[in-house]
Structure 1
Amino acid sequence: MDGIARFQTPQAEVFCLTDGGTDFGAEVFPAVDAQTLATRLQAAGHSTIRTQFNAFLIRQGQSLTLVDTGCGTLFGPAGGQLPARLAALDVAPADIGTLVFTHLHGDHCGGALLDGVPVYPHARVVMHPAEHAHWQDRDAPAARVIAAYADRIQTATGGQEVAPSVTVWDLPGHTPGHIGLRIGTGVVIVGDIFHSSALQLPDPEVATIYDVDAAMATQTRKDALAAIAARDQVFTGGHAVAPHCFARLATEGAGYRTVGI
């Protein structure tokens, strides 16, 4: 189904739901020179730095966990498709029991509110305590989401379970409380450890201008990718691009390439 990718694990049915997409400008990856940029895009079969804004649905019987909420109305026509993706799976916002935020940048939390009102009226909301603290009292969509869901927010750190067999994976750097999720032992959601698989998987040293702590984000990316490859895990991320929304990693030189599944 267009905009929806599915992967079945022993613990859950996992969906990557594309809220929208855009092209990044070269300035987002300031360390990548023009020749390297062109070479890597060509190798990936792309002519631009493509990205998607992804959210994830974890279905375990009648239990539904949503991971991130897409852009909502923040980015105009570049986002806002998550409600239609959920509807295509016969899921209404009121059906979501748990809402987990990998972090609170606008393309991950913008869809949590509509006209200032929570879109997911029955969901308990989970985020890392460092993320909750980082966005307090800031003039940002994140602060408005925190205020709107305040009485339903719970915090969780690495190893804590947010749904059966679904645990938090601390991945700091992109933001202070940036997290991923482990689903059983074979599947991981990595949030924003990369924004362009074409540029950052071949060279995990490449950072983006969106990283709050670029050095920490880079080390986190290197460690996470090495672990995924060593364990032969299936991974997906907030900016994974179809047709490899779910993929494995193969080592290639000092970096990696995606292997379709």
Structure 2
Amino acid sequence: MKIWAHRGCSYAWPENTLQAFKAACQYPITGIELDIQLTKDGEMVVIHDEKVDRTTDGTGEVCDFTLEELRKLKIAIPTSEAKHGFTQIPTIEEVFELVKPYCLKEGVLINIELKNSKVRYEGMEDKILEAVSRWGLKDYIVYSSFNPESICLLKEKDPSVKTGILAAPVSECLSFAGNHPVDALHPNIKNMDVENLKDKTNLPVRAWNTSEFEPFYPDAREIEIQDLGELERAGVTDIFTNVPERYL
């Protein structure tokens, strides 16, 4: 079973922060997973929710902030390493700068989820493809999205990129893969609704969980640890988890 750090080590550290990604890269993980959105002035930032309310001290839609305005928002962090006890929403460029050495030396992969289902973010595909190329990281990137149109567009722009289709039930992922070029299935770990999945696809099946079962920092509720053998029998090849350190 391959282990990916979901938004970094996001149970011990604030999700999608440089601190969470740095912590994750200290372990023999397969890769990290992160989410990108665009600011009002077209900059790529790493944040999951369309609103900043849950993870920062601000309120409002990510797309309504300029990068300079977003940089003023604070994310509380429990360490003396962080100046003044808080960190900020990082740009994708900052994450690349941090993680690239681990990609080159350890083979760490980066799953970039394009958060473009609720807000379409026109031009996001071009922007992220250009940035990845400029940083020389193409061989280490997997692109994923809940937006099938975006996955198709990425493949149209560059058929050689690696993509994963996100959906809750694995049956929906499998259906998409039957009609479109895609390199992996990314279903919800609770929605493995296809029997004998291994007989139906040779694609990697990377399963993710929800905050109900895998809370994020600073939520201290207990994490639900998966039975990896059971998941493997169901056809899962990889998991995205907030606690890669526990599995490794």
If the TM-score is normalised by the length of the shorter chain, which range does it land in?
Answer: 0.3 to 0.5
Could you say which structure has the greater relative contact order, defined with CA pairs below 8 angstroms and 6 or more residues apart?
A: 2
Structure richer in strand, relative to its length: 1
Name the TM-score, length of structure 1 as normaliser: 0.34
